[in-house]
A = this chain, B = another copy of it.
Amino acid sequence: MEDIYFEDIVLGSEQRVGPYEIKEEEMIEFGRNWDPLPIHIDKDFAASHGGLTAPGIFLLAIKMKLLHSLPVQKSVIASAGFDELRFHRPAKAGDMISLLIRWQEKRPSLSKPDRGIVVGRYFLLNGKDDVVLSHLDTVMMRLRPPLARNS
């Protein structure tokens, strides 16, 4: 896939990448390191509460990994922030997680001509296409550099 720059973002369009399978061992290890709530790491406790659930930050990490399936490594400068982040339903080991992005706003930077601001609504979906997590992401993205434009 060709590199995606600011010019390539079509408002109203959607992009979907994935899936990434939640592996139980990886999920528990992430929980032990960063979010050791019993519901994320303790199988005995979780057995009477509907089973282990994925830590929210683990889902955000998976979202970021999936985002890297898109060729944006050269263009994305940084995220300015997330809004309206919601954890809609638990995700579990074995779930096949996809990322759907709906691009909904873009504007050139007023101060720096080499970049623009792009806003997308990101949805993490499980294997049944239920929404697990969603948020708005405001991303600073480079315009296509002159050399690439001419090549």
Identical copies of this chain, number: 2
A→B interface (CB under 8 Å): 33-38, 55-57, 60-62, 64-65, 68, 73, 76, 78-87, 135
Residues of B within 8 A of A84 (CB): 81, 83
Nearest opposing residue in chain B for A59, CB measure: B57
Closest 7 CB pairs of A and B: A34-B61, A81-B86, A82-B85, A35-B64, A81-B85, A57-B61, A57-B60
* 9 chain-A/chain-B pairs, Cβ below 8 angstroms: A34-B62, A34-B64, A35-B65, A36-B73, A38-B73, A55-B64, A57-B60, A57-B64, A79-B87
Q: For A78, list chain B residues within 8 Å (CB).
A: 56, 87
